[in-house]
Amino acid sequence: MRLLSQDPPEDLPRRVPLKLQPEPGETLDSICSGRVQVLQRRQGYRFTLDPLLLAHFAINEGAAQRGRLMDLGTGCGIIPLVLARRLGRKDITALELRPHLFSLAERNVYLNRCEREVSLVQGDLRRVGMQFAAGSFAHVLCNPPYRTQDSGRSSVSMEKAIARHELACELQDVVRAADHLLVPRGTLFMVYPASRFGELTSVLRVHRMEPRTVRWVHPLADRPAKRVLLHAVKAGRADLTVLAPLVLHGDDEHAFTDEVNAMLM
């Protein structure tokens, strides 16, 4: 895997760590017409549609441009894998706190032969200043925990609970980390509950992040939005664009719309 400081020589033998086949209690899932394969825990954290929507939104909104890209809280590595294998993005760094998920992400990077595109770092986004210099990245993506600690019933699985509830980090931690990591006028991309959009914009502006583009995500065309995809600019000007809504399902509530299906192909 590529080190943060330098790329390996082209003739360096490929080091393959651990097992690249499912172990007991794991599944091997394929997305993007088989171009991305993902090892996941059968009972633990499993990725949802949200990170796939975020990856495509970010690319459409400028994350395809040159410059280093950071995925905060990468989990099993799904966002970097889609960016690299499906969308052709390079120079991706992914940060993950939990050792077992970091190990799973590492296996997935090698499984998909993305060692040269993706660098994995184990660490806490609340302490990014200890691992990365200020202004090290042009783009930051994050699919953070959605629920406050006291909202709803926490999952019986700690792995799921940390992914869903603000146990290991809160919204302000994510935005503060992005502020440190981004260059001036660098871009932050997030997917977040529509119900917390007001809180999200308030926290962004405290940290000099100005919302630039938003897209509401609706389960059905006649239903309220459940998610919002947001693109913010560090030290940017107030100039918000609201894109056409993204509708997940058509008349058949069990089938995705053509636009969503295109993201999954």
pLDDT in tens, 74-89: 999 999 999 999 999 9
Number of domains in the chain: 1
Q: Say what percent of the chain tops pLDDT 70.
A: 85
CB 158 within 8 A of CB 98: no
Task: Name the DSSP letter for residue 172.
Answer: H
Question: Could you tell me the pTM of the whole model?
Answer: 0.86
In a domain, 167, yes or no: yes
User: CA 73 to CA 98: how far, in whole Å?
Assistant: 9
Print burial letters for 31-62: b (CB count within 10 Å at least 16), e (below 16).
Answer: bbeeebbbbbbeebbbbeebbbbbbbbbbebb
Least confident of 35-44, 164-173, 177-186: 164-173
| In a domain? residue 238 | yes
Whether residue 191 lies inside any domain: the answer is: yes
108-131 pLDDT, tens per residue? 999 999 999 999 999 999 999 999
Q: Is 12 inside any structural domain?
A: no
CA gap 89, 260 in Å, rounded = 20
Residue 178 within any structural domain of the chain: yes
CA separation for the pair 56, 141 (Å, rounded): 11
β-strand pairing of 26-31 with 36-41: antiparallel
β-strand partners of 95: 72, 121
Residue 153 pLDDT more than 50?
yes
Residue 33 φ/ψ, nearest 5 degrees: 55, 35
Residue 113 covered by a domain: yes
Which of 47-56, 148-157, 173-182, 251-260 is the least confident region?
148-157
The Cα-based distances of 210 to 128, 184, 190, 236 in angstroms read 21, 12, 13, 6
Asked whether residue 43 is assigned to any structural domain, the reply reads yes
Cα angle vertex 246, ends 176, 170, to 5°?
20
Q: What is the average pLDDT score of the chain?
A: 88
Residues of the domain holding 147: 26-264
CATH number at residue 227: 3.40.50.150
The per-residue pLDDT for 9 is 40
244-256 pLDDT, tens digit per residue, is: 999 999 988 889 9
Q: Does 11 have pLDDT greater than 50?
A: no
In a domain, 3, yes or no: no
Q: Sorting pLDDT into bands at 50, 70 and 90, what band is 162?
A: very low
Angle value at C-alpha 71, between 130 and 10, nearest 5 degrees: 90
CA distance 207 to 234: 8
Alpha-carbon distance 130 to 78, whole Å? Answer: 25
| Residue in this structure with the two tokens 């926290």, named with its chain if needed | 203
Mode of pairing for the β-strands spanning 137-142 and 182-193:
parallel
Q: Is pLDDT of 163 > 80?
A: no
Amino acid (one-letter) located at 92: I
Give the count of beta carbons closer than 10 Å to the beta carbon of residue 10. Answer: 6
Q: How far apart are CA 176 and CA 178, in angstroms?
A: 5
